[in-house]
Amino acid sequence: MAPMAPMSAAADGALAVALPPDVAKSGFSYGYANDKADADAASTRALDLCRTTKDASNDAKLRGLCKVIQNYSNQCVAVAMDPEAGTPGVGWSIADDKPAAERQALNRCMDTAGAGRRAACVISHSDCDGSAK
């Protein structure tokens, strides 16, 4: 029996986003991948997820806007949005820990939501890659 190769700890992540000029009208899509073997694998998975969300699956223009905006390693990603349809509030962040990523994503969502919708921003997803917490 051949010796087993040592398993390497995967710790590469990527965030892909589709951000149209008018989020309130066209929606928003994103995908992220953590703990992949390398940046290319993380980017490929994040793009796949961005392109296959419910909104992107039904809208070729939105699908076409998906692009990797950042690769990361041993960091956390958070996405915040206003869940009400037809609103512009959206934000994301990558930071060294989950609380910082969530706080930054919420702040960015509130910046784009408008005065009447700032309080509606919530964390949609957050997760960490590798050893980040």
What pLDDT is recorded for position 115? 87
Q: What does the block give as tokens for 31? A: 């995908």
In the sheet that 12-18 helps form, which strands lie side by side, from edge to edge? 29-36, 12-18, 67-72
pLDDT of residue 10: 57
Q: Over the stretch 84-112, which tens digit does the pLDDT of each residue have?
A: 988 999 999 999 999 999 999 999 999 99
Over the Cα atoms of the chain, what is R_g? 16
Read off the pLDDT of residues 15-45 as tens digits, 9 standing for 90 and up.
999 999 999 898 899 999 999 999 999 999 9
Domain ranges of the chain: 12-128
The mean-pLDDT minimum among 8-12, 41-45, 49-53, 73-77 falls in: 8-12
Contact between residue 107 and residue 86 where contact means Cβ atoms under 8 Å apart: no
Average pLDDT over residues 60-86: 95
In the predicted model, is pLDDT for residue 4 greater than 60?
no
In terms of pLDDT, which residue wins out, 8 or 15?
15
Number of neighbouring beta carbons within 10 Å of residue 131: 10
Mention every residue, 6+ apart, whose C-beta is less than 8 A from residue 45: 14, 31, 33, 36
Summarize pLDDT for 38-66 with one digit per residue, the tens: 999 999 999 999 999 998 999 999 999 99
pLDDT-derived band at 121 (thresholds 50, 70, 90) equals very high
For residue 65, CA distances in Å to 22, 49, 54, 58, 104 come to: 12, 13, 15, 13, 23
